Amino acid sequence: MICWGTECQTMYEQYLYEKESDCLTEAAIVSDYAQMTYPGTTGQIYCLNEDEFKTWVDSQAPKA
């Protein structure tokens, strides 16, 4: 996922990584690319498992 402000979408990969280390390796590459392409960004990337991702999505839902 990549987020600009509160707008998020999937970027590049659309599959689950077998190991967190694989995700972290790819995350570093994408972070470097983002920082070079968009100098104002921090290039922060998080590798979340499915439960962590669901919790994050739920936390982004508008409050009633």
Determine the structural domain holding residue 35 and report its residue range: 19-64
Residue 53 has pLDDT above 60, yes or no: yes
Task: Classify residue 5: in a domain, yes or no.
Answer: no
Angle of CA points 62, 20, 60, to nearest 5°: 5
Nearest to 3 by CA among 32, 46, 39, 50: 46
Please report the pLDDT score of residue 21 as a whole number.
Answer: 94
- Coil vs helix vs strand at 3: strand
Which of 50, 49, 38 is closest to 3 using CA atoms?
38
Is 32 among the domain residues?
yes
Q: Is 42 within the bounds of a domain?
A: yes
Residue 63 lies in a domain: yes
For position 60, what pLDDT does the model report?
77
Q: How many domains would you assign to the chain?
A: 1
pTM, entire model: 0.63
Within-domain flag for 33: yes
